[in-house]
Structure 1
Amino acid sequence: MAGEHGIYKYEPNKIACIAAAGLFGASALIHLFQMIRSKAWFYTSFCVGAIMMTAGYVFRYISANDPSSLGPYIGQSLCIILPPSLYAATIYMIYGRLVLFVDAADASVIRPTRVTKIFVIGDVFGFLLQSSGGGMMAQSGMADMGQKIMLIGLFVQLLFLGFFLFISLIFWKRMNKSTRHYTVPQYGKHGWKALLKMVVCAAVIIIARCVFRVIEFAQGHDGYLVSHEIYMYIFDSAPMFLVQAMMHFVYAAKVFGIGNFAKLGKSESVIELNQRGYV
C-alpha cells in the first residue's frame, strides 16, 4: 500500500537517479560501440543489460516524480534487478572462448563447449524467476509470493555463479602450473591472464551484489535495507557500474585478436585453427 512516499519507504533521491542514469548510459554507449566495431556479438547480452540498467534509473527518476504510480515503479525495479544476470551470461561466454583460446580444454572442470550451455541456461532460469517475482512484488496482493520467487531466482543465480567461480579458479590454478601459458599469443595490450582475472573479479562482484539482494528481500517489505535508499546505491549500483567499467579496459575481442573469437565460438581449438590456416 502507498504511504507517505507512495510505494517507496523513503523519498527517492532524484539527483542520484540522474547521475546513475548518466554513468550507466555513457558506459552502455561505449560498450555498444566496442561490440559493433569489433563484431564481438557475444557481448550482446552485456550491452542489453547495460541499456536496461540505464533505463532502470530513468524509470526511477520518473517514479520519483510520481511515487504512487505502479508502472514506472515496476519498470525501475525490474530494469535494475535483472541486468546482473545478463552480465553473468557474457562472462560465461568469455570463459568458454578463453579456454579454447589458450588451447587448454583439459584444464577446465567442464568442457568449454558445454560451459556456455550449462551456465547460460541456469542464468536464464534465474532471470525468469527474478523477472516474474519482481513484477508480482509490486502488486500488494501478490507481494509475498513475488518476494519468495525473487529469492529463489537469486539463489539460483548465486548457485550457478558460485560454481562458475569455482571452475574458473581451478582453471587458473591448473594453468599456472602448466608451461602452456607461455605459448599463448598476445594480440593487444592485455593477455589472457588479465582477461581471466577480470572474469573472476566480475563474478565475485556480482556474487556480492546477489548476497546483498538476498539479505534485502529476506528482511521483508519493512526491512532496514529496503527502507534506506543509500544501501541500494552502495551495494548494487556502484558494484554493477564497476563491472561495466572494468569490462571496457580488458576487452575479450582484443585479447583473442579481432576476427579470431568468432571461430572460437564454433568450439574449435587454436591448434586446429592453426592447422587449417585460419590464424
Structure 2
Amino acid sequence: MSGVSDQSSYDFKKQLQENCHALVPGYGTSYGYVPSLAAGIVFCSLFGVSMILHMIQLVWKRQWWCIVFVLGCITELIGWGGRTWSAECPYNGNAFLMQISTLIIAPTFFTAGIYVLLGRFIHLLGPETSILSPKLYLWIFVTCDVVSLVVQAVGGGMASIEVNKINGNTAPGTHTMVAGIVFQLFSISIFVFFAADFVRRTLRMRVLQNMKGSIIPLLAAMVFSVICIYIRSIYRTIELSQGWTGYLITHEIYFVVLDGVMMVLAVGVFNIFHPGWLLPKNTPKPFHEPIYSPGATEMQ
C-alpha cells in the first residue's frame, strides 16, 4: 500500500509541476514558499529599464564591450520572469528551472564587464598600477567563471533528475553545485584582492590627477559594483551550502535583498556612471614610461 501511495503522490506532484496550479495545502513548492508577484514585477521592470538604457548607451557611445551589461540584464529579466510566472504557478517545473538557471548565470556577464573595465583602467594609468596585465584578468577570471558555471549546471542537472524520482537523492547534485559556487566565490575573492591592489597603487602613485577627465566616479562605480557582486556571491554560497530546505533558500526576503537588489545596483550604477561617458581618451604617460619612481620624487 505504501508503494501505491508513494506512486500516487508522485503522480500528483508530477501533474502539479507540468501545469499551473495554485498552492495546495500539504504540498510544498520547490522554493519552500510562493514567490512574490510584486517582487517579480518590480525586478523585471528594473532590469528591463537598465537593459534599455544600456542598449541606448551602447549604440550612442559605441563602447561595444558594454554589451555584456545588456546580456546580463536580459538574463536577469528572464530569471525574474520565471519567478513572476512561479508566483502564479508555484509548482511549475519549467518556471522554477527557468529562474534558477538564469539567475545563477547572470552575474557572470556583469563580472566580465568589470574585468574589461579594470583592463581599460590599467591601459590608461599604466602597467605599474597592476600585478596582472589587462588580458590576463579577462582570460583567467572569465575562465574561472565558466568552469564554475559548468560545475553548477552539472550539479543542478543531477539534482533536478533526482527531484523527479520517488525518494530521489539530491545530495550529490547539491554538493556539486556548492562546489561550483564555492570555486566562484574563491575566484571572485582573488579578483577582489587584485582590484584592491590596483586601487591602492593608483592612490599611492597619485596618477589620477594626470587625467584630463577624472575617472574617479567610474572607478568608484566599479568598486561599488564589485562589492555588490561579492555580497551576492557570499550569500549564494551560504544559501546553497544549507541545502534545498535550508533557512536562507526557503525565505524569499534574503534572495530579494541579497541577490535581486545587489544585482540591480551592480549593473544600474553603470547606467549612471557609464564607461562611454567617463573613460578618458588620453593616457597620462606612454605605457613604457614609469608613472611613479621614488628616486625621481626625491630628486624633485
TM range (shorter): 0.7 to 0.9
CA offset digits 1:146-196 (Å, max 9, x no partner): 32222122122212211111111112111112243322221xxxx222222
1:115 is matched with: 137
- The alignment status of 1:155 with 2:182, answered yes or no, reads yes
Whole-Å Cα distance in 1 between the matches of residues 181 and 266 of structure 2?
18
Whole-Å Cα distance in 2 between the matches of residues 112 and 270 of structure 1?
17
1:85 is matched with: 108
Whole-Å Cα distance in 2 between the matches of residues 80 and 48 of structure 1?
12
- The alignment status of 1:271 with 2:286, answered yes or no, reads yes
The TM-score, its normalising length taken from structure 2, stands at 0.79
1:178 is matched with: 205
2:5 is matched with: none
Aligned partner of residue 221 in structure 1, secondary structure: coil
Whole-Å Cα distance in 1 between the matches of residues 32 and 135 of structure 2?
46
1:216 is matched with: 239
The structure 1 residue matched to 2:123, chosen from 89, 100, 104, is 100
Residue type of the partner of 1:159? F
Q: Which moved more, 1:240-249 or 1:143-152?
A: 143-152
1:1-279 to 2 correspondences below 5 Å: 2=13, 4-102=27-125, 104-139=126-161, 140=163, 141=168, 143-186=170-213, 191-257=214-280, 260=281, 271=286
Whole-Å Cα distance in 2 between the matches of residues 193 and 131 of structure 1?
38
Residue type of the partner of 2:268? A
Whole-Å Cα distance in 1 between the matches of residues 55 and 155 of structure 2?
29
Q: Which moved more, 1:127-136 or 1:235-244?
A: 127-136
Whole-Å Cα distance in 1 between the matches of residues 64 and 102 of structure 2?
22
| CA separation of 1:209 and 1:179: change in aligned 2, threshold 3 A | closer
Residue type of the partner of 2:286? I
Q: Percent identity?
A: 27
| CA separation of 1:270 and 1:250: change in aligned 2, threshold 3 A | farther
CA offset digits 1:211-239 (Å, max 9, x no partner): 11111111112111111111110111111
Tell me how far 1:246 sits from its aligned partner.
0.9
Whether the 8 Å contact between 1:27 and 1:245 is mirrored in structure 2 is yes
The TM-score, its normalising length taken from structure 1, stands at 0.85
Whole-Å Cα distance in 1 between the matches of residues 169 and 274 of structure 2?
42
CA offset digits 1:107-162 (Å, max 9, x no partner): 20112232211111112222222333334433314632332222122122212211
The answer for unaligned runs of 5 or more in structure 1 is 273-279
Whole-Å Cα distance in 2 between the matches of residues 6 and 113 of structure 1?
44
Residue type of the partner of 1:35? L
| CA separation of 1:179 and 1:241: change in aligned 2, threshold 3 A | closer
| CA separation of 1:254 and 1:126: change in aligned 2, threshold 3 A | same
Whether the 8 Å contact between 1:74 and 1:135 is mirrored in structure 2 is no
Whole-Å Cα distance in 2 between the matches of residues 63 and 11 of structure 1?
7
Q: CA RMSD in A?
A: 2.2
Number of matched pairs:
259
Whole-Å Cα distance in 2 between the matches of residues 270 and 83 of structure 1?
37
Whole-Å Cα distance in 2 between the matches of residues 44 and 165 of structure 1?
23
Whether the 8 Å contact between 2:34 and 2:86 is mirrored in structure 1 is no
Whether the 8 Å contact between 1:85 and 1:157 is mirrored in structure 2 is no
| CA separation of 1:131 and 1:247: change in aligned 2, threshold 3 A | farther
| CA separation of 1:118 and 1:233: change in aligned 2, threshold 3 A | same
Whole-Å Cα distance in 2 between the matches of residues 81 and 113 of structure 1?
25
Aligned partner of residue 205 in structure 2, secondary structure: coil
